[in-house]
Amino acid sequence: MSLSSYQSKRELLELENLTWLVTGAAGFIGSHLVEELLSLNQKVIGVDNFLTGKKSNLDIIEAVNPERFKENFIFYEIDITSAEQVSNLPTVDFILHQAAMGSVPRSILKPIDTHHNNVTGFINMLVFANSLNVKKFIYASSSSVYGDHPTLPKVEENTGNLLSPYALSKMTDELYAEVFSRVYGIKTVGLRYFNVFGPRQDPNGQYAAVIPKWINATLVDKPIVINGDGQTSRDFCYVKNVVQANILAALADQSETKNSVYNIACGGQITLDELAKTVQHEIGAYLPNLKPKILYQDFRDGDIRHSTADISKAQHSFGYLPEYDFISGIKETINLLCKI
């Protein structure tokens, strides 16, 4: 399936009014899903408890498309770790489950909170999805489930020893989804995200992701701080690719997805040194007097040394094809920030 095929799916959706439940709707990825679905004239039920999500993300969506936001979006401020609160949500066609407590370092410091939000909340959403007999339950997994498996690129069938409570929580979710599919017949698809980045990603706090943190540091003339020697590499994936993957996976025939898990990435490999230089170079177009500064410190516990994805399974199963590579994604992210 090509990008034109994804466009054809978008055009079909504009003619069919379905109802989608997005958990973590005020978060980084969730808010982009809400925005895309509303642009396609879909009805969207948004769920968030604002543990990490921000109301300002929903305000941005409302400003972009106020009419559809008012007509087609309903928001519930609830905690999905409460089965009672989840059970009171309305009937929907699809569930896109994005809500989670992210960050490997945070999970090492707060393993109980990580389990409570990422596993208990996940089970509650699975039970709810099963009670409604939804068309498909799409959920966010993570590249962290590959642990210390040395083979590159990462292939879905090969995982190693898990290196953090966060990774354990995501692997546990995958196992629960597999069992619920087998026992109850619920249709599930897990998407293993690889280092997603883009607009609305929070740059603040000790658990901020590397790209928004480094962009923010550069904009205020502070040094970029690299954990390790700079040769650690990642497969950075622009958020609009993730939005595409969620919608394609939801609309794919069940025979194509088969209650499985899929890598969602670009299939590339960028070192932290390369990332830092790219961020500073792109921002330099807006700040010509910028003087790049980089500091190195110790490696972080739980971090994987190298990570790049084989995305062929998602391509073959439901036509996932990244619209944005790393460079085009970072350019758009910085362009939007610098124009504010």
* Interatomic CA distance for residues 67 and 161, integer angstroms: 49
Residue 78 corresponds to which tokens in the numbers above?
């609830």
Q: SS in 3 state form for the chain?
A: CCHHHHHHHHHHHHHCCCEEEEECCCCHHHHHHHHHHHHCCCEEEEEECCCCCCHHHHHHHHHHCHHHHHHHEEEEECCCCCHHHHHCCCCCCEEEECCCCCCHHHHHHCHHHHHHHHHHHHHHHHHHHHHHCCCEEEEEEEHHHHCCCCCCCECCCCCCCCCCHHHHHHHHHHHHHHHHHHHHCCCEEEEEECCEECCCCCCCCCCCCHHHHHHHHHHCCCCEEEECCCCCEECCEEHHHHHHHHHHHHHCCHHHHCCCEEEECCCCCEEHHHHHHHHHHHHHCCCCCCCCCEEEECCCCCCCCECCECCHHHHHHHCCCCCCCHHHHHHHHHHHHHCC
The separation between CA 59 and the C-alpha centre of its own chain, rounded to angstroms, equals 20
Residue 138 corresponds to which tokens in the numbers above?
């799409």
Q: Report the amino acid identity of residue 50.
A: F
In angstroms and rounded to an integer, the radius of gyration of the C-alpha atoms of the chain is 19
Known catalytic residue at 166: yes
Please identify which of the residues 166, 193, 262, 324 carries the catalytic annotation.
Answer: 166
C-alpha angle 66-67-68 in degrees, rounded to nearest 5: 95
CB 114 within 8 A of CB 165: yes
Residues labelled as active-site residues: 166
